Amino acid sequence: MKRLTLKAEGAGRLVPPAILAACAFVLPPLLGAAGAAFLLTQLTMAAYYVLASLGLCALMGYAGQISLGQAGFFAIGGYASAFLCTRDLGPAASAPLARCLDLAGLLVRGADPYGKALLSLAPWLSGLLAVLLAAAVAALIGTPVLRLKGHYLAMATLGFGIVVEKVARGSKALGGADGISAVPGLALWPGLEVTGGRAARSANFTIAWLVLALGILALANLVRSRPGRALRALREGEEAALAMGIDTARYKLNVFVIAAVFAAVAGVLLTHYNGSIGPGEASSTRSVRYVAIVAVGGMDNLVGTLAAGLVLNFLSLRGVFGNYDDAVFGAILILIMLLSPEGKAARAFHSLLPRGKGAPR
Amino acid sequence: MSLLEVSGLSRSFGGLKAVDDVGFAAEADRITAVIGPNGAGKSTLFNLISGGLAPDSGRVSFDGSDITRLPPHRVARLGISRTFQAIKISKRMTALENVMIGRHVRSRSGFPSGMLAAPWARAEERSIRDAAMRAIERLGIAEYRDRQAGGLPFGVQRSVELARALAAEPRLLLLDEPASGLNARETRVLAELILGIRGMGIAILVVEHDMSLVMDVSDDVVVLNFGKKIAQGRPREIQSNREVIKIYLGEDDA
Per-residue pLDDT tens digits for B216-245:
999 999 999 999 999 999 999 998 888 888
User: Is B152 domain-assigned?
Assistant: yes
Model pLDDT for residues A327-339, shown as the tens digit of each residue: 999 999 888 888 7
Mean pLDDT of A255-279: 98
Model pLDDT for residues B13-58, shown as the tens digit of each residue: 998 999 999 999 999 999 999 998 888 899 999 999 999 899 999 9
Mean of pLDDT over chain A: 90
Tell me which of A222, A226, A234, A242 to substitute to probe the interface with B (most B C-beta atoms closer than 10 Å).
A226
ipTM: 0.94
Q: Which residues of B touch A64 (CB under 8 A)?
A: none
Element (H, E) at B16: strand B16-26
Please tell me the predicted confidence (pLDDT) of residue A167.
97
Residue B176 C-alpha, separation from nearest chain A C-alpha, in angstroms: 13
Please tell me the predicted confidence (pLDDT) of residue A357.
35
Model pLDDT for residues A132-146, shown as the tens digit of each residue: 999 999 999 999 999
B90–A240: do the CB atoms touch at under 8 Å?
A: yes
Please tell me the predicted confidence (pLDDT) of residue A358.
34
Residue A257 C-alpha, separation from nearest chain B C-alpha, in angstroms: 11
User: Is B85 domain-assigned?
Assistant: no
User: Is B160 domain-assigned?
Assistant: yes
- Residue A242 in contact with partner chain B when CB distance is under 8 A: yes
User: Is B84 domain-assigned?
Assistant: no
Checking if the pLDDT of A171 tops 50, the result is yes
Tell me which of A9, A62, A225 to substitute to probe the interface with B (most B C-beta atoms closer than 10 Å).
A225
Checking if the pLDDT of A113 tops 80, the result is no
The percent of residues in chain A predicted with pLDDT above 90, rounded, is 77
Which range among B67-71, B166-170, B208-212 shows the weakest confidence by mean pLDDT? B208-212
Domain that holds residue B52: 1-79+170-254
Nearest alpha-carbon partner for A231 in A65, A2, A100, A115: A65
Mean pLDDT of B183-196: 93
Checking if the pLDDT of A360 tops 50, the result is no
Q: Which residues of A touch B116 (CB under 8 A)?
A: 218, 221
Q: Domain check: are B9 and B132 in the same one?
A: no
- Give start and end residues of each alpha helix (H) in chain B: 42-50, 72-77, 95-101, 111-116, 119-138, 154-167, 184-199, 211-217, 235-239, 242-244
A236–B111: do the CB atoms touch at under 8 Å?
A: no
Of the candidates A224, A235, A246, which has its C-beta nearest B104's C-beta?
Answer: A246
A226–B50: do the CB atoms touch at under 8 Å?
A: no
Q: Domain check: are B71 and B174 in the same one?
A: yes
Please tell me the predicted confidence (pLDDT) of residue A355.
45
- Residue A305 in contact with partner chain B when CB distance is under 8 A: no
What is the chain A residue with the closest CA to B111? Answer: A227
- Residue B94 in contact with partner chain A when CB distance is under 8 A: no
Checking if the pLDDT of A321 tops 90, the result is yes
Supply the CATH number for residue B240's domain.
3.40.50.300
User: Is B86 domain-assigned?
Assistant: no
Among B114, B148, B168, identify where a domain stops.
B168
Model pLDDT for residues B57-100, shown as the tens digit of each residue: 999 999 999 999 999 999 999 999 999 999 999 999 999 999 99
In whole angstroms, give the CA distance from residue A187 to residue A207.
11
Checking if the pLDDT of B182 tops 50, the result is yes
Checking if the pLDDT of A351 tops 80, the result is no
Q: DSSP secondary structure string, A46-69? A: HHHHHHHHHHHIIIIIIS----S-
Q: Which residues of B touch A344 (CB under 8 A)?
A: none
Checking if the pLDDT of A215 tops 80, the result is yes
pLDDT band at B247 (very low <50, low <70, confident <90, very high): confident
Q: Domain check: are B161 and B174 in the same one?
A: no
Q: Domain check: are B71 and B175 in the same one?
A: yes
Nearest alpha-carbon partner for B114 in A358, A258, A172: A258
pTM for this predicted structure:
0.93
- Residue B109 in contact with partner chain A when CB distance is under 8 A: yes
Please tell me the predicted confidence (pLDDT) of residue B249.
60
pLDDT band at B193 (very low <50, low <70, confident <90, very high): very high
Residue B251 C-alpha, separation from nearest chain A C-alpha, in angstroms: 37
B111–A230: do the CB atoms touch at under 8 Å?
A: no
- Residue B84 in contact with partner chain A when CB distance is under 8 A: yes
Q: DSSP secondary structure string, B51-108? A: TSS--SEEEEEETTEE-TT--HHHHHHTTEEE--SS----TTSBHHHHHHHGGGGG--
Q: Domain check: are B74 and B24 in the same one?
A: yes
Please tell me the predicted confidence (pLDDT) of residue A342.
45
Residue A118 dihedral angles phi and psi, to the nearest 5°: -125, 140
State how many domains chain B has.
2
pLDDT band at A340 (very low <50, low <70, confident <90, very high): low
The percent of residues in chain B predicted with pLDDT above 90, rounded, is 86
Model pLDDT for residues A272-306, shown as the tens digit of each residue: 999 999 999 999 999 999 999 999 998 999 999 99
pLDDT band at A105 (very low <50, low <70, confident <90, very high): confident
Among B168, B202, B231, identify where a domain stops.
B168
- Residue A246 in contact with partner chain B when CB distance is under 8 A: yes
